[in-house]
């Protein structure tokens, strides 16, 4: 059932519902498109390089807590 407010919005401002986002399965990825994991891994590596391997400073640079950085480093097999 449509609320009166919603109906008024549609009539007055020609409001429409947002479109449904279409997702593609992971197997349907185009080659050359970096996955989020790859981007995150590279960002961590860059932060570590900029801070000369200082994990505390790298975490600060990334805006994350140090334990979070350690977890991500373990996940992406990053050793410093």
pTM: predicted TM-score of the whole model, two decimal places: 0.60
2-56 pLDDT, tens digit each:
555 655 655 666 656 655 655 555 555 555 557 999 999 999 999 999 999 999 9
d(CA 51, CA 6): 52
Phi/psi-derived region of residue 4, left when phi > 0, alpha when psi is between -120 and 50, beta in every other case: alpha
Q: Which domains does the chain have, with CATH numbers?
A: 34-80 (1.10.10.60)
């Amino acid at each position: 059932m449509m609320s009166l407010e919603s109906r008024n919005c549609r009539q007055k401002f020609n409001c429409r519902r947002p479109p449904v986002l279409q997702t593609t399965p992971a197997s349907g990825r185009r080659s050359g498109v970096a996955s989020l994991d790859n981007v995150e891994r590279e960002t961590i590596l860059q932060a570590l390089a900029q801070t000369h391997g200082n994990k505390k400073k790298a975490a600060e640079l990334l805006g994350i807590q140090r334990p979070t950085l350690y977890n991500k480093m373990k996940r992406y097999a990053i050793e410093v």
